[in-house]
Copies of this chain bind each other. A is one copy, B any other.
Amino acid sequence: MSSSDHSLRVLVRKLESIGPLSAEERQAVESLPVKTRVLEPGHDIVNDGDQPSHSCLVLSGWVCRYKMLSLGRRQVLSFHVAGDIPDLQSLHLPLMDYSLAPLTRSAVAFIAHESLRELTATFPGLAAVLTRDLLIDAAAYRAWLTGLGRRSAYERLAHLFCELYLRQQAVGLAEAHRCPLPITQMDLGDALGLSNVHVNRVLKEMRGSGLVTLRAGTLVIEKWPELAQAAEFDPSYLHLRSGHAV
């Protein structure tokens, strides 16, 4: 079931934000066989403990990785937008150690591991880009870890906003000074190790200081320099190819 509507272009765009692709490589990516689905929040894509035979490319909407603890405690590990393949690592590490779920209505394309193996065997350049993508992922974990361990609630939110803006900009999903952020304050809290109540209070404070406004699923960054400074944000961990002027 090939994609007739070029939905795989979001993947090409993402990979090109990481490293250059040849025309052949672009072509090979775009003709990957996929199964497309539209998913609603509340229905997980893959679960902790699974051994999936496909990986999941996000085509639209927002998806997150998360882990659960007792007493309903949830930790969101990352957010994903169009172009991301959050469970790419299951190609090399069969057993899932986290779950994957849509946070909004999302379209995803399932790509068989077999297809990916064939692709990377044929195009070592693509294999290298995908490896880089996995390692950039790890760099993002390091940044989040630093935030959870040593940043205040205010700094954590500021840092997350910087990251999400730049990542979306890199794949053409952001406008000047604004980008989509259609997730609940609960989800933000679960990502930042905070309660939804406290997220709300910090957002109010940020709004008051005129740095950032989050409303109706849109993030508006009014003062990028101040925001980046408050977050001690250094974009190098995203390892983006392009500059990121705002």
Give residues in A with beta carbon < 8 Å to B: 49, 65, 67, 69-70, 73-75, 77, 89, 92-93, 95, 97-98, 128, 131-132, 134-139, 141-146, 148-151, 190-193, 232, 236-237, 239
Could you say which residues of chain B place their CB within 8 Å of the CB of A95?
Answer: 236, 239
Contact, CB under 8 Å: B89 / A135: yes
* Chain B residues whose C-beta falls within 8 Å of the C-beta of A150 in the assembled complex: 69, 73-75, 193
**Chain B residues within an 8 Å CB radius of A237:** 97
Q: How far is the CB of A143 from chain B (nearest CB, A)?
A: 8
- CB pair A69–B142 under 8 Å, yes or no, is no
Do A139 and B193 touch across chains, with their CB atoms under 8 A apart? no
Counting every copy of the chain, the complex holds: 2
Bound Cα distance A98, B239 (Å): 13
A148 touches B151 (CB 8 A): no
CA distance A145 to B131 in the complex (A): 22
User: Are B93 and A136 in touch, CB under 8 angstroms?
Assistant: yes
Contact B141 A232 (CB under 8 A): no
- Beyond A146-B77, A148-B145, whether A93 also contacts B139 by CB under 8 A is yes
Q: How far is the CA of A144 from the CA of B138 in the complex (A)?
A: 12
- Chain B residues contacting A193 (CB-CB under 8 Å) are 148-150
| Inter-subunit contact B138/A75 (CB<8 Å) | no
Report yes or no: A131 in contact with B92, Cβ–Cβ below 8 A: yes
Give me 14 A-to-B residue pairs in the complex whose CB atoms sit less than 8 angstroms apart, sorted by A's number.
A70-B232, A75-B149, A75-B150, A77-B142, A77-B146, A92-B135, A93-B239, A97-B143, A134-B135, A134-B138, A138-B138, A141-B141, A144-B145, A148-B148
Greatest chain B CB density within 10 A among A65, A67, A131, A138 is at: A138
Would you call B131 and A69 a contact (CB within 8 A)? no
Are B97 and A145 in touch, CB under 8 angstroms? no
